[in-house]
Amino acid sequence: MSDLICVGAIAGAFGVQGEVRIKSFTADPEAIADYAPLTSEDGSRSFDVQLTRAIAQGFAARLSGVRSKEEADALKGLRLFAPRDRLPALPDDEFYHADLIGLAVFDTGGKQLGTVKAVLNHGASDLLEVQVPGASATVLVPFTLAVVPTVDLASGRIVADPPDGLFEA
């Protein structure tokens, strides 16, 4: 499990005074500032975060060390990370996406179906993007209790009961 969890991303500059647009990936979007200082994935940059106002699809914010529109624009696309120990503990049936990526996926009979490549959410519910061994294609598996009854982080595996035909070529 990663020591850093992605909690947001910078979507670009907001205005001309050095503010940035932040997309929050936290359950309570405003809580992103509570986990500061936030860092880049490699830890080379660190920012204190002050949310200034809610805007469409996120927040306007001031980041420490960013004073101009040009500096804010240069950060566009930067993902922001917080150490796992600063984040709240999750209930047994909830998981950080970072913890699911890389887990082996097995069917209920014990046959390996693939490995979790990514966790996607396009508005309805989460989908596990599963890389099938020996294939370039991936399969999207609904991340629901009915389809994924078991997630065992300790052993690094997921047991899935996918709909018939989902993993057939």
Each residue's pLDDT tens digit, 101-154: 999 999 989 999 999 999 887 777 889 999 998 888 899 999 988 999 999 988
* Residues linked to residue 63 through DSSP beta bridges, in sequence order: 49
pLDDT at 169: 57
- The domains located in the chain, with CATH, are 4-86 (2.40.30.60), 97-160 (2.30.30.240)
pLDDT at 2: 60
* Residues linked to residue 6 through DSSP beta bridges, in sequence order: 81
Each residue's pLDDT tens digit, 28-62: 899 999 999 999 989 899 999 999 999 988 999 99
The DSSP output letter for 129 is: E
Reply yes or no on whether the pLDDT at 1 is more than 50.
no
What mean pLDDT is predicted for residues 68-88? 92
pTM (2 decimals)?
Answer: 0.72
- Rounded Cα distance between 25 and 8, Å, is 5
Phi (first) and psi of residue 130, to 5 degrees: -105, 125
Helix (H) or strand (E) holding 5: strand 4-14
